[in-house]
Amino acid sequence: MIQKFVKHLDSEKFTHETVFLHGANINPCNDCRACKLGELLCTVKDDMQLVYNKIDVANILIFGTPIYWYTTTSQIKLLIDRLRPYYKNEKLKGKKAILFLPAGSGSGDCDLTIEMFKRIFKTLQLEYAGAVTAEAYDEGDVVKDEKAMQEIRDLADRVRA
């Protein structure tokens, strides 16, 4: 879904980098609260430090996750929990956020996840730019969902404007 989305953006105006969380060494937040003091940064040393660097320079954050049991994968949940420093340091304020959510049963399985992300985005002062859901069980199923493909094009048009 993300590949289809960026394909519709102007490559001279928009650059992108995809970060895959599967296989990344991202530890859970240990509630040490170091991110609330001093430099307002997470002190856990793992692959999330690389993700922070990419988030810090991005203008638009795109979150893509298949829906497992009506919510995100465990990998993206680890990332969400580790976004805690941005609550205090406000580095995400004004950036846009987009969701891409494929689910075996389609959009009906995505409502809880969309609401969760909307609340997270509001808390982190991210501007919710939209979500696209798709009925997809196996890799490649998304392109068969014509409604999702149109919504991806429409969302790209709105972001370009």
Token pair listed for 72: 């995100």
Q: What is the pLDDT along the chain (161 residues), one digit of tens a residue?
A: 999 999 998 777 888 999 999 999 999 999 999 999 999 999 999 999 999 999 999 999 999 999 999 999 999 999 999 999 999 999 999 999 999 999 998 899 999 999 999 999 999 999 999 999 999 988 889 999 999 999 999 999 999 87
Read off the DSSP letter of residue 10: -
Q: Looking at domain 2-160, what is its CATH homologous superfamily?
A: Flavodoxin domain (3.40.50.360)
**Helix/strand/coil for 71:** strand
Residues 2-30, buried b or exposed e (16+ Cβ, 10 A)?
A: eebbeeebeeeeeeeeeeebeeeebeebe
pLDDT of residue 140: 87
pTM equals 0.93
- Indicate the domain borders of the chain: 2-160
Among residues 40, 41, 53, 46, the alpha carbon closest in space to that of 28 is found at 46
